[in-house]
Chain A
């Protein structure tokens, strides 16, 4: 850290000399470990120590950015030259400012020191056990696609010439397994994962069982007749879809005419059953933080409350344009990106019905357990989606047979309005800039294409 402070001072001095008014340094460093097992051997082992530094600064009233992964004195001129050249070429009217910070920030702890003390052999044993367990539960499991354990630590510093000086550190462990079940010519895959920063929470038996059951339950899957079907979107599939549509809540997208929620503030955009929460203080929320990427304090809010759109997500620039305060959702996915907007821990508030109850209430229809092709088959600008899907046919409130080779199609807003019931089984996806979750959701109907 002493080296970093010296470098920081040198950068500040050089910038001042050359006429850069306000300057901010965004620095992150971390370590990563990833262990992959195949047929009882360590098939892949990845170890990393990395860092990166970005500058953001005002030159002649425009904000310029630059970054480097060669974090030393030899990069100072490169960073400053790039920042100036980029600032000179910014044409947008909305002004981006550097934030001086507030006096006090809440405490948020995303760092679990016990994870840093777990011996490597324990991690290796865990992932070997996971593979072995998955292969012995059911003889129809013929191979393992992926069997991985990983963990990482990262530390971010945001520091600027207006006096802001913030640090954030976090660590996280994850594991996932993909299994392949075969019966005759029929091949099906199953997948399960777990994310935590407490190594003791990882139970290979639970994870193996989940993946194996998923694959086995899909054996014999067939397509069904095209038509409109009542739908239950299982928690993981619902959270995948919400994650893919997360950008529609960004005020930046709204202001640029790129969101289907434009002009819908304070209007009903979904069924009364739905409340969408953004909670940067959620326990075990892996996108938790007391401040956003501009140093603005974060807070908990309902983006949608009982079906009504309460707010968009803002950073300082978009808030200034709308004449309101930032919602503390400024985001930088890394030092390589400029300030954008992202939810923190965002989820649909769970109801009180179990998945079983949702099935009984629906009587006939399809439970969707998996959707694919989210980056292509879903258009966050129009809200239209048409996704390859898998699931189960539900008859008389019970699972009858597995379904695959179908697509489900609809529009996000129509789907939100057609929500009949919300389950109690909130589940989160894999964390990225945001950490997004949903319970299972029962929907009036969607178009299904199959036979």
Chain B
């Protein structure tokens, strides 16, 4: 994407004050976002993100600089300015960069850029009609469509030069139901590392209806009970519980500085025997996948927890130095505006042996969280919280009635040990995960699981 000779000169400038590693990240991304309200397109924005990030290490210290300009003199100036934050003499010589070829594991059939905007809007309208037509109680429907193509190149002083291309497409439907002046909402937001074939193969009507069904169910629901109780969390986006409660604490970003409850616990039992958890950035065409991470390492399948025992972390190059461990292909960033760090890709609890009906029927009294909203965690204390988008009360082994407004709170390390049933129905849900290197697409996933006790926040 930039002449190799220029890249070599920039890396040399970056190392001029004693840095022991330098990297250049080039990004060129084009995309479109379309917003539809009441069945009519309201806003359409398309454009191009373009910039170059330069990163330099010296031992555990790191420096990062970025610019939108790609001419040699600006880049060398930027590298020199950044390198001034490190004091020393140039001792490391860079290696000449070599092309590293990678295979595209995420095949794109239809480039979204070649599809006219009209066709994208037609698909949005089908989802809209289906949601709006679900029931008279549906008062508003919003549909957002997004696609982008991100081309990146990573080169570094160890001689790597590698390019990658990521295409992602996503549709998000939000429905609002109104009853007696009171409003509740539901949503469905499928996405993938695919081209427009993702939309063509998507059951648009089902997703529209599902968003509407959740909103209607919730506006007619009573408030959730509160207090400690068993909670059954459904498959798919329910995996956000692992993502928030444990995943963030397994990122080297918090482990390396001893700011995680999971630090120094490799080989220890941290979860119940039936829990195996994985972060796998290689799954073809999944939302959180890529061929290489954002520091140029091939992505890989990382076993985090196996049968309850902590096996590994997600590690980036810089934190790997601190931890004296190898990087795991987990280094990600929102854009050239962020230095990369260890992040999750597609993170999930592996399938277990129970089936869904068995889990419900063996629960005397508790909450069934069919769809989760988002959540957050404080990695230092492990305290998490997240919202239940669609919940039900379970009594005597049966789903009794829908309940709204439930929040689940707790500490990750306690929850993992309290998982007492794991279903056989693993599926994924798509989200955007925000952290120190920005907002990145991340898949969460799990089969239906039961946690023997969580604090449920509600209003009754």
A residues engaging B (CB < 8 A)? 38, 41-52, 54, 64-71, 75, 78, 82, 85-86, 88-93, 143, 145, 178, 180, 187-189, 223, 226, 256-258, 260, 336-338, 372-373, 375-377, 379, 381-382, 384, 386-388, 404-410, 447, 449-451
Contacts and interface: CB of A to CB of B under 8 A. Distances in A.
B376 A85 contact: no
Contacts of A260: 183
B455 A86 contact: no
B45 A337 contact: yes
A43 B44 contact: no
19 contacts: A41-B61, A44-B339, A45-B62, A67-B46, A68-B48, A69-B68, A86-B45, A89-B41, A90-B42, A90-B43, A145-B257, A180-B380, A256-B140, A257-B178, A373-B407, A404-B383, A406-B455, A407-B455, A409-B459
Contacts of B43: 65, 90, 338
Interface stretch (B8-16, B78-86, B352-360): B78-86
B37 A384 contact: no
Given A69-B51, A377-B387, 15 more contacts: A44-B339, A45-B63, A47-B64, A47-B85, A48-B65, A49-B78, A65-B43, A65-B44, A85-B117, A89-B118, A91-B40, A145-B257, A189-B378, A256-B37, A375-B376
Given A260-B183, A449-B455, A178 B409 contact: no
A59 B408 CA distance: 49
Contacts of A447: 226, 458-459
Q: Is the interface of A mostly helix, strand, loop or mixed?
A: strand
Interface of B is mostly: strand
Given A42-B61, A189-B381, A405-B455, A51 B68 contact: yes
Contacts of A257: 139-140, 176, 178
A381 B387 contact: no
A405 B410 contact: yes
Contacts of A52: 68
A47 B82 contact: yes
Contacts of B383: 372, 388, 404-405
Across the A-B interface, the 4 shortest Cβ-Cβ residue pairs: A407-B457, A388-B385, A449-B226, A376-B374
Nearest to B411: A405
A409 B42 contact: no
B105 interface: no
B244 to A, nearest CB: 9
A75 B70 CA distance: 14
A355 B370 CA distance: 41
A232 B64 CA distance: 43
A386 B455 contact: no
Contacts of A88: 117
A189 B42 contact: no
Interface string B371-411: 00111101011111111000000000000000011110111
A258 B140 contact: yes
Contacts of A46: 63-65, 339
B265 interface: no
B258 interface: yes
A187 B68 contact: no
B50 interface: yes
A143 B387 contact: no
Contacts of B61: 41-43, 45
Nearest to A340: B43
A407 B78 CA distance: 47
Interface string B262-275: 00000000000000
Contact of A386 (B66, B78, B384, B387): B387
A66 B140 contact: no
A180 B67 CA distance: 35
B112 to A, nearest CB: 13
B248 to A, nearest CB: 13
Q: Which of B81, B387, B410 has the most CB of A within 10 A?
A: B387
A336 B47 contact: yes
A92 B40 CA distance: 5
Interface of B: 32, 34, 37-38, 40-51, 60-68, 78, 81-82, 85, 117-118, 121, 139-140, 142, 176, 178, 182-185, 226-228, 257-259, 261, 337, 339, 373-376, 378, 380-387, 404-407, 409-411, 455-459
A49 B67 contact: yes
Given A45-B85, A85-B117, A187-B381, A386 B458 contact: yes
Nearest to A94: B42
B42 A92 contact: yes
A410 B459 CA distance: 7
Nearest to B456: A449
Nearest to A390: B383
Nearest to A72: B69
A92 B441 CA distance: 30
Contacts of A67: 45-48
Given A45-B62, A45-B85, A379 B185 contact: yes
A323 B311 CA distance: 64
B407 A386 contact: yes
A407 B226 CA distance: 9
Given A372-B385, A376-B373, A382-B184, A47 B81 contact: yes
A406 B176 CA distance: 29
Contact of A70 (B40, B68, B178, B182): B68
Nearest to B70: A70
B387 A376 contact: yes
B47 A82 contact: yes
B404 to A, nearest CB: 7
B403 to A, nearest CB: 12
A94 B109 CA distance: 37
A48 B185 contact: no
A405 B409 contact: yes
Contacts of B32: 86
A260 B61 CA distance: 49
A226 B409 CA distance: 14
A67 B406 CA distance: 41
Nearest to B457: A407
Contacts of A382: 182-185
A262 B407 CA distance: 27
Nearest to B42: A92
B38 A223 contact: no
A42 B318 CA distance: 13
Contacts of A188: 381
Contacts of A407: 226, 385, 407, 409, 455, 457-458
Contact of A409 (B51, B227, B261, B405): B405
A41 B457 contact: no
A368 to B, nearest CB: 13
A226 B51 contact: no
Contacts of B68: 49-52, 69-71
Given A67-B48, A189-B378, A404-B383, A143 B258 contact: yes
A82 B46 contact: yes
A409 B408 CA distance: 12
Task: Point out which of A45, A68, A188, A410 has the most chain B C-beta atoms below 10 A from its C-beta.
Answer: A45
B48 A381 contact: no
B386 A377 contact: yes
B68 to A, nearest CB: 5
A48 B67 contact: yes
A248 to B, nearest CB: 11
A119 to B, nearest CB: 13
Contact of A336 (B45, B226, B258, B387): B45
A42 B380 contact: no
Contact of B458 (A49, A82, A381, A449): A449
A336 B450 CA distance: 42
A400 B433 CA distance: 37
B376 A43 contact: no
Given A86-B46, A90-B41, A226 B226 contact: yes
A44 B82 CA distance: 11
B407 A387 contact: yes
A88 B44 CA distance: 10
Contacts of B46: 65-67, 82, 85-86
A187 B259 CA distance: 10
